[in-house]
Amino acid sequence: MTREAAIERAEDFVASGVFKTELARLIAMPTESQNPERSRVLAEYLEVGIRPMLESLGFTCTRLAHPAAQAPFLFAERIEGEELPTILGYGHGDVVRGLDSSWSRGLSPWVLTEVDDRWYGRGVADNKGQHAINIAALDAILQTRGKLGFNAKFLIEMGEEVGSPGLRELCTQHKALLRADALIASDGPRLARERPTLFLGTRGVATFDLTIEARSGGHHSGNWGGLLSDPAIQLAHALSTIVSPTGRIQIDAWVPRDIPASVRRALSECVVEAGPDGPVIDRAWGEPGLSPAEQVFGWCSFDVLALEAGDPATPVNAVPPRAWARCQLRFVVGIDPDDIVPALRRHLDRHGFPMVTVAEVDGISHATRLDPEDDWVRFTAASIERTSKQKPVILPNLGGTLPNDIFSDVLGLRTIWVPHSYPGCSQHGPDEHLPLDILHDGLRLMTGLYWDLGEWRDPV
């Protein structure tokens, strides 16, 4: 009954084919949350896919619902002692659209297929494979030690890919049920394929449309050019006041005062690399004086996602009546989310662009970040290092966005994510895959972590 024996047992799940069979069953369910025709499958994933797996481990499962959600949630718990620490796990069983016709020959989004030491299938990386790894690690602990040594809770949702509707309300309603000492979950990619990674929060995101409606209809540029304001030119100038030609944000309320010392220390050991299939990093872009890691994980970024005036497909000789841009701010802790749009409005008015309207899109996701030097982070990092024999990368927050603020702010939890994927996994695209080396590594790391949690007590 040793830690090493538990890790070996987890490895045996893969060698024996048991884990592959279970994951193939999950992948075969086309749980596209963006597809209204899949609502029945979303519920089946919880009841037929996940519930039996967790109940076989002694979890009590409860189906939860909220009117704001398009699909139910599954809550599971295994309570071994009131004096023991409680860990909340999370996963989402929904996936983006399969894009069936775009996958390489011989591959299907709904069939788990192994090619060249990779498992292919929609959800194998995001997120079915990741929470299946964690459940298998719990199984290995129970089969080896007979108990976890801590209390475990799980929340599985089926709407993360469409913005997690109802999750915030559900967690607010069921705070007591979801009470825990920490969230330890898996989603997103590692910083690099070969480096175990922890991330402790996420950047927030605010998406908004900037529009100038100058008049109804276009007017001949020969007859009216020079007499009519051009909304495309006006919008271009308005955008140029928001960000410099080198990508530096020029609205003070949109950038942090500084990067905390503990965050700088953590990021000093992070190397952002594009990899063989990634783009070349533009080192002169963004806030001057920051490393690539600080730019992505410690600072804010502004991007124009789309820009349109006139008819781009078939331009005509006319002054366009309208110009539109969809923009996005990714922001870190320290930015007031309630002041993002008002600050933009003040900025545009101050620079002479009252004609630009600002419309928020899909609400604002808040930024979160656990202190990299928190005791729970130190413990988790030490466990990962003990198993992998290398120091993990610790990201104070992910560059992207997850519903982490619901767990940190609504439930008041420390949040630690241990991702079992990598930047090149084709997440959300055709040929989504999970390399077997990351699969094996994830099983080892989580089994070791769960084992250590059964022997550790929160000092706080």
- With residue 134 as reference, give the H or E element that holds it: helix 128-145
What pLDDT digit, counting tens, does each position of 387-396 carry?
Answer: 999 999 999 9
**Do residues 187 and 126 lie in contact, with contact meaning Cβ atoms separated by under 8 Å?**
yes
Question: Could you check whether 3-202+368-453 and 204-270+284-365 share the same CATH topology?
Answer: no
pLDDT for 357 beyond 60: yes
204-270+284-365 CATH: 3.30.70.360
What pLDDT digit, counting tens, does each position of 228-275 carry?
Answer: 999 999 999 999 999 999 999 999 999 999 999 999 999 998 988 776
What pLDDT digit, counting tens, does each position of 12-26 carry?
Answer: 999 999 999 999 999
The DSSP call for residue 50 is: I
Q: Provide CB contacts within 8 A for 224, sequence distance 6+.
A: 319
3-202+368-453 CATH: 3.40.630.10
Band of the pLDDT at 123, cuts 50, 70, 90?
very high
- The three-class DSSP label of residue 130 is helix
- With residue 414 as reference, give the H or E element that holds it: strand 414-417
DSSP letters, 183-231, are: EEE--S--SBTTB-EEE--B-EEEEEEEEEE--SS-EEHHHHBTTB--H
Cα distance between residue 186 and residue 306, in whole Å: 31
The CA dihedral of 395, 400, 406, 408, to the nearest 10 degrees, is: 10
pLDDT at 363: 85
**Do residues 255 and 334 lie in contact, with contact meaning Cβ atoms separated by under 8 Å?**
no
Domain ranges, ordered by start, for the chain: 3-202+368-453, 204-270+284-365
What pLDDT digit, counting tens, does each position of 54-104 carry?
Answer: 999 999 999 999 999 989 999 999 999 999 999 999 999 999 999 999 999
Q: Provide CB contacts within 8 A for 373, sequence distance 6+.
A: 262, 265
Band of the pLDDT at 1, cuts 50, 70, 90?
confident
What pLDDT digit, counting tens, does each position of 279-308 carry?
Answer: 889 999 999 999 999 999 999 999 999 999
Helices 340-350 + 231-242 axis angle, to 10: 120
Per the structure block, which two tokens stand in for 381? 């990092």
- The three-class DSSP label of residue 27 is helix
- The three-class DSSP label of residue 98 is coil
pLDDT at 458: 58
pLDDT for 460 beyond 60: no
